[in-house]
Amino acid sequence: MKNKKCSLKKHSEIDSINFCQECQIYLCNKCYNHHKEIFEEHHHLYSLDKNIDDIFTGFCKEKNHNKFELNLFCKTHNKLCCVSCASKYEIQGNGQHKNCDIYILESIKEEKRNNLKENIKNLEELLKGLEESIKELKLLFEKINENKEEIKIKIQGIFTKIRNALNAREEELLIEVDKQYNDIYFNEEIIKEAEQLPNKAKISLEKGKIIDKEWNNNKLNSLINDCINIDNNINEITMIKEKLKQCNSNQNILINFNLDKNDKINSFLKMIKEFNFINLNIDSNIIKSIEEIIFIKNRIQNSQKFKNKNIYFNLLFQATKDGQNSSNFHKKCDGIQDLLIFIKTTKGEIFGGYTNEGFKSRENSIVDNEAFAFSIPKKKIYNIIKGKTAICDYIKKGPCFYSNGWYLININEKMLESRSNTCTVSQSHYEGITIDYEINNGEINFYAQEIEIFHISTN
């Protein structure tokens, strides 16, 4: 921002630091100190450490309006304006507010004073809990940061173990390769030994002939010692020749690393790619991503019961584990409020609902003003219309969401085997359904692959 100069003529080269709205002048540091002493009642002094456009001068800042005072109020835009702004003629930038609801300032004085008093009350109320909220926010941030660092440390620990195990296994395999090749083929030492064989054989042969000629001319013990040395040389040469023969016979034997084309290594690499270090805190065969959890969690925390509370998903029932008959479901879940139901069809659709009332085998349809249904693929919530029946509570049915003579979600007695599991048409007790059978992607019937029921709690 280009600095404004002091309004005093002899200080016209000095940058101003303040603006007095009452006097409509810019003040340098020296002038500002004098001004404070002389005009103690002037409170509208603005520091120029911020953008000059933000300073209220009392004059209009529209183009070509800078000589006109802001003495009118536009109720349409809740904004001060000048006579040019309110002009009926759009000449030279005039008339920006010509069609607006314009008042003189005196006529809205009391209204704005009353609004001010109301705003003061609102600000006082806001301030009461603001510091505590900020304190809680800081504590939450610290907790989240700690959790983040813990997860990082866990990840590093896991991958350090993996790297150590891989390095150790690599070393073992490299040693094994050396051993296999040395046992089946030969190593460099055998080549060195083989290179010495001809010379060693020649020396032993010449030595043997000399001994034979001079047999009677030497001491017997010396002769026999020389014979023993020749025997040893022959044994060594024979042994090395045997090794060479074996090496030559094994030249067509191939050693392979049998994992280079093995599915095991591909599975291992795939498993590493699929490592999920985010703990969803939900034991589910259906819900796999944190986005899906956040989608449902946000809706639950919108309700008054769970607003501003940490909520937890506690698994009560899983059809593939606890039994697929409706009696298994009622045995596990009856009498428990705040139930969240997830259903996954054999075609991969995922939907369900929440009920505050829960199920008790009441053989009736129940009003539940907190109930809602949802579609995970569509990321869509269907809220119950207040006062309408929301769930169907029968011993020979699974978790059902009732809707206007139809079932929004109908789970029959044999929950995972029934082809007659159905969803409803668009005329519904639940808001937001625009096409028939929308929650099941336009199909009325479905087979359930999995059904899970969670209890929503705050601890």
Contact (CB, 8 A) for 278 and 414: no
79-81 β-sheet, strand order: 79-81, 72-74, 102-104
Is residue 173's pLDDT more than 60? yes
The confidence score (pLDDT) of residue 359 equals 95
Whole-number pLDDT of residue 402: 84
Nearest to 350 by CA among 272, 288, 435: 288
What band does 180 get if pLDDT is binned at 50, 70 and 90?
confident
pLDDT value, residue 214: 75
Model confidence pTM above 0.95 = no
Residue located via tokens 């053989």: 363
| Mean model confidence pLDDT for the chain | 83
Dmax over CA atoms of the chain, in Å, equals 150
First to last CA, the chain: 54
**CA angle, corner 354, sides to 349 and 360, nearest 5?**
115
What is the tens place of the pLDDT at every residue in 286-335?
Answer: 988 878 888 898 899 888 888 878 888 999 999 999 998 999 999 999 99
Q: Return the pLDDT at 334.
A: 95
Tell me the C-alpha to C-alpha distance, in Å, between residue 246 and each of 92, 182, 184, 233, 249: 107, 12, 8, 20, 5
Higher pLDDT, 219 or 401: 401
Segment among 54-58, 152-156, 277-281, 418-422 with least mean pLDDT: 277-281
* Over residues 101-109, mean pLDDT: 92
CA–CA distance from 98 to each of 65, 93, 109, 345, 354 (Å)?
A: 15, 12, 22, 61, 53
318-333 exposure pattern, b = at least 16 Cβ within 10 A, e = fewer:
bbeebbbbbebbbeeb
What local confidence, expressed as pLDDT, does residue 293 receive? 86
Pairing of strands 448-457, 72-74: unpaired
**pLDDT confidence of 255, banded at 50, 70, 90?**
low
Band (pLDDT 50/70/90 cuts) for residue 232 is confident
Res 187: pLDDT: 60
For the stretch 48-76, pLDDT in tens is 665 555 667 778 888 777 678 889 999 99
- Give which of 435, 339, 440, 328 is closest to 391, Cα–Cα: 339
Task: Tell me which residue has tokens 């009003």.
Answer: 367
- C-alpha to C-alpha distances, 208 to 120, 197, 202, 226, 231, nearest whole angstrom: 123, 16, 10, 8, 10
**Residues comprising the chain, all counted:** 459
Is pLDDT of 202 > 60? yes
CA–CA gap between residue 195 and residue 179 (Å, rounded) = 23
Q: Looking at residues 34-43, what average pLDDT do you find?
A: 80
pLDDT at 33: 86
Can you tell me the distance from the alpha carbon of 24 to that of 42, in angstroms, rounded to the nearest whole number?
A: 11
Q: How many CB atoms lie within 10 A of CB 18?
A: 21
Is 42 in a helix, a strand, or coil? Answer: coil
Average pLDDT value for residue range 155-166: 88
Structure tokens at 459: 């601890």
With cut-offs at 50, 70 and 90, classify the pLDDT of residue 426.
low
CB 82 within 8 A of CB 113: no
User: What is the CA angle 85-91-97, rounded to 5?
Assistant: 25
Q: Are 382 and 431 a contacting pair, CB within 8 Å?
A: yes
pLDDT given for residue 401 in this prediction: 92
